[in-house]
Amino acid sequence: MENSLQLYNTLSGKKEPFEPIKPPFVGLYVCGPTVYSNAHLGNGRTFLSFDLINRYLRHLGYRVRYVRNITDVGHITTDVDEGVDRIGEQARLEQLEPMEIVQKYTLDFHEIMANLNLLPPDIEPTATGHMIEQIEMIKTILEKGFAYESDGNIYFDVQAYKEKYNYGELSGRNVEELFSNTRTLDGQSEKRFFADFALWKKASPEHIMRWPSPWGLGFPGWHLECSSMSTKYLGEQFDIHGGGMDLKFPHHESEVAQNTACSGHGPAKYWVHTNMLTFEGSKMSKSLGNSILPNELFTGDHPLLKRGFHPMVVRFFMLQAHYRSTLDFSNDALEAAEKGYQRLMAGVKILGALPVSDSSDVDVAGLKAKCYAAMNDDFNSPVLIGNLFDAVKMINSTAEGRLKITAVDKASLQELVRAFVDEVLGLKGIEDTSDGGMIEGLMDLILDVRARARANKDWGTSDAIRDQLVDLKIVVKDGKEGATWEVKA
């Protein structure tokens, strides 16, 4: 059951059984952020999706090497490599050194990922830290006849490549049709073919980020870093390469071409792409004023937000949509997700206090099978969450005495919920992430005072404590094993 994982492979356009190249080892490479600005929600959605994939593969027992790069040089703003280096441009705007920009926004990115409880990658290489590897890969591509030099620039020769391989196999795009209406850009005459892309760019006199190479001072093209670093840390062919669907072309298509030019085959067996974000049905963009940063979502400090939402609520909200489907943000959807998250975590909280019986009315084995079936179907987190809500109904009914559970089934249910809520979905109780358990301690104290009042038949004090907690949106439930509490939205 646990080993019947199927995932959607962009390369084939269909779901395929997951069969690692060298089990139990799994190589996972994900294109990381370009650190020239604050991390945005699209980053959060993409990397959270691969966090889910990483977590589930590890849960299944695979030994994963997760590599996610930091792009700290060379990311230009247009598909055909004639745009502005974003980091250099931001450095000019903020009047800082480029590596100050890199450090500033790398720290911001790490903070956001930590708030969302993402596991860090096993290796997080930077483009600037792998200049030698990139230059060596360019040399190989030149030697194989798939690149050429033009005035200190090195371009990948798409026409030469197309004579032997299929440029466009990943994205399904026809190069001639795609670029038939492309306008002429500055420097376009340096290329032999309009679709050729830069492997190395000659640095202009004002360009700060530059390195020596056999072709003069310059810097690498954006696409090259991922090819060189994935090869270094995962080998010429590895299991999964991932990123947002916006990277499919030209970035990932160019990666396939670069790796194939060097080794005769593409880098990854499976290509996985996440879908995009919208806000109330519209694409998120600065021009529309609906681009929301994660910290703005956490604090509510944005004109389109009614209030802020805890990072765990945001994580839960994102996991409610399948990674290949569009995720639409709205205030109402976030508030609904918050209620769902609280209901799920309330069930998790009271699970340990469930009374046990000599017989069971619950089918834990069937629930377990459904949870694995959901995740084995291309990491279907929304279906998994639906199954976990069935577990919550089971827990609540048992707590209220309407169902019975044996000690063995209770232990199995506890392990199942721990595995999928904590280990796979990466969800924490809010009190565990913000106050070091202070709220838990205070509530234990309050319920202890109330229990003593009830033991002394001081019903007035007992009811007053309960009613005042209700005013704070904390609901107390009395059961055979004592009182429990939960926060209501």
Name the token pair of 132. Answer: 């030698």
Q: Is the dihedral of CA 169, 374, 27, 48 positive or negative?
A: positive
- For the stretch 196-216, pLDDT in tens is 999 999 998 888 899 999 999
Checking if the pLDDT of 58 tops 90, the result is: yes
Average pLDDT over residues 114-121: 97
Asked whether the beta carbons of 166 and 158 are under 8 A apart, the reply is no
Asked whether the beta carbons of 201 and 153 are under 8 A apart, the reply is yes
Q: What is the pLDDT of residue 178?
A: 58
Tell me the sheet residues that pair with 329. Answer: 279
Q: What is the pLDDT of residue 3?
A: 64
- For the stretch 442-451, pLDDT in tens is 887 788 788 8
Average pLDDT over residues 303-331: 96
Query: What is d(CA 187, CA 155) in angstroms, rounded to the nearest whole number?
Result: 12
- For the stretch 380-429, pLDDT in tens is 999 999 999 999 999 999 999 999 999 999 999 999 999 999 999 999 99
* 3-class state of residue 300 by DSSP: coil
- For the stretch 3-29, pLDDT in tens is 699 999 999 999 999 999 999 999 999
Q: How far apart are the first and last CA of the chain?
A: 37
Phi-psi group of 401: left, alpha or beta (phi > 0 → left; psi -120 to 50 → alpha; rest → beta)? left
**CA distances to 435, 470, 473, 474 from 467, in Å:** 24, 5, 10, 9
Asked whether the beta carbons of 180 and 94 are under 8 A apart, the reply is no
Q: What is the pLDDT of residue 115?
A: 96
Query: What is d(CA 72, CA 371) in angstroms, rounded to the nearest whole number?
Result: 39
Name the band, by pLDDT with cuts 50, 70 and 90, for residue 80: very low
- The residue behind tokens 């997760």 is 66
480 against 6, higher pLDDT: 6
Nearest to 253 by CA among 277, 222, 231, 276: 222
Query: What is d(CA 140, CA 239) in angstroms, rounded to the nearest whole number?
Result: 23
Q: What is the pLDDT of residue 100?
A: 96
Nearest to 120 by CA among 61, 68, 177: 68
Average pLDDT over residues 345-357: 95
Q: What percent of the chain has pLDDT over 70?
A: 92
Q: What are the two backbone dihedrals, phi and then psi, of residue 314, each rounded to the nearest 5 degrees?
A: -65, -45
- CB-based contacts of 338-342 (< 8 A; 24+ apart in sequence): 338/309, 338/310, 338/313, 338/489, 339/489, 340/316, 340/385, 340/389, 341/312, 341/313, 341/316, 341/317, 341/427, 342/486, 342/487, 342/488, 342/489
Domains and CATH numbers, the chain: 7-274 (3.40.50.620), 278-432 (1.10.730), 435-487 (no CATH)
Query: What is d(CA 449, CA 134) in angstroms, rounded to the nearest whole number?
Result: 66
Query: What is d(CA 175, CA 420) in angstroms, rounded to the nearest whole number?
Result: 43
Name the band, by pLDDT with cuts 50, 70 and 90, for residue 186: very low
Nearest to 226 by CA among 192, 255, 261, 199: 255
For strands 25-30 and 147-150, give the pairing. Answer: unpaired
Q: What are the two backbone dihedrals, phi and then psi, of residue 268, each rounded to the nearest 5 degrees?
A: -125, 145
Average pLDDT over residues 91-98: 92
pTM for the complete prediction? 0.87
- The residue behind tokens 């090497």 is 65
Asked whether the beta carbons of 320 and 122 are under 8 A apart, the reply is no
Query: What is d(CA 134, CA 262) in angstroms, rounded to the nearest whole number?
Result: 12
Checking if the pLDDT of 160 tops 60, the result is: yes
Residue 34 per-residue DSSP state? B
Name the band, by pLDDT with cuts 50, 70 and 90, for residue 1: very low
Checking if the pLDDT of 75 tops 70, the result is: no
Query: What is d(CA 314, CA 454) in angstroms, rounded to the nearest whole number?
Result: 39
Q: What percent of the chain has pLDDT over 90?
A: 75
Nearest to 377 by CA among 329, 334, 324: 324
For strands 63-68 and 25-30, give the pairing. Answer: parallel
